Amino acid sequence: MVYQFNNNQTRISEFVPPAETAVEWASKLTVESHAELAGTDPIEIQMAEIKRLQENCDFVQHFNLFSGLENDYPTSVRLAMCGNNKLVGRGEVAITKAIQGQDYLYVIRISRKVPSFEIGEAEIEREAVATWSAYLAQVKLCNPEAEAHPCTDVR
């Protein structure tokens, strides 16, 4: 863990591999929960993130991987590719999963910095993106006190 913020409204934790740091990272996992966004549609959150990326990137490609219900919670998963982030001079590829819970909106993001690239030419292995996608498919929200959101078979 390289970063943590925690209060009643917002919780954010960031993780990088052991050889990397909060500043010098190539891959990062970010987990967020936001009480003030609990009623927000996950697709709206995803599109707000795309808009933020577009402000700092030469170009952004993004693709909806899934939008629907998981364990009866509105959920959206999106792949985003920034060809060149003007602030850091590198590209970035990320898959983000947003889940609208009862009390919080949850956002789980896996990011990788890559060399700057042109449209469709990101230097990232398809296997890596497939692994990220498979990992995020296992991350589901549950509530042991609600039949509509059981915690069986949920990790």
- Report, as ranges of residue numbers, the positions in the chain whose pLDDT lies below 70: 153-155
CA-based nearest residue to 29, from 122, 85, 112, 127: 112
What span, in angstroms and rounded, lies between the C-alpha atoms of 60 and 111? 14
Residue 126 pLDDT: 87
Show Cβ contacts of residue 137 under 8 Å, excluding neighbours closer than 6 positions.
none
Structural element, H or E, at residue 11:
strand 10-15
How many other C-beta atoms are found inside a 10 Å radius of the C-beta of residue 100? 22
User: What is the tens place of the pLDDT at every residue in 64-86?
Assistant: 999 999 999 999 999 999 999 99
Total-model pTM: 0.93
**Residue 148 DSSP code:** T
Q: Which domains does the chain have, with CATH numbers?
A: 3-138 (3.40.1000)
3-class state of residue 17 by DSSP: coil
Q: How many CA atoms lie within 13 A of 58 on its CB side?
A: 13
One DSSP character per residue, 39-85 reads TS-HHHHHHHHHHHHHHHBS-EEEEEEEEEEETTEEEEEEEEEEEEE
3-class state of residue 6 by DSSP: strand
CA-based nearest residue to 45, from 70, 21, 64, 72: 64
